[in-house]
Amino acid sequence: MSLLNFPDSIVLVKTTVSAYGKPVYDSETDVNCIFVRNTGYLHNANQNSINSDAVAYLEPYNAFVITNEYRLEEYLVVVDWNEPEQDSWYKVTSTEVNRDSQLTNTIDSVTLNLKKTTGISRVS
Q: What is the pLDDT of residue 30?
A: 94
Q: What is the pLDDT along the chain (124 residues), one digit of tens a residue?
A: 567 899 999 999 998 888 888 888 888 999 999 999 887 777 788 888 777 789 999 999 999 999 998 899 889 999 876 666 667 889 999 999 998 888 888 888 999 999 988 888 765 4
Contact 52, 19 (CB under 8 A): no
Question: Per-domain residue ranges for the chain?
Answer: 8-116
Contact 116, 92 (CB under 8 A): no
Distance separating alpha carbons of residues 54 and 63, to the nearest angstrom: 23
Buried b (16+ CB within 10 A) or exposed e, 57-86: bbbbebeebeebeeebeebbbbbeeeeeee
Q: What is the pLDDT of residue 102?
A: 84
What CATH number belongs to 8-116? 2.40.10
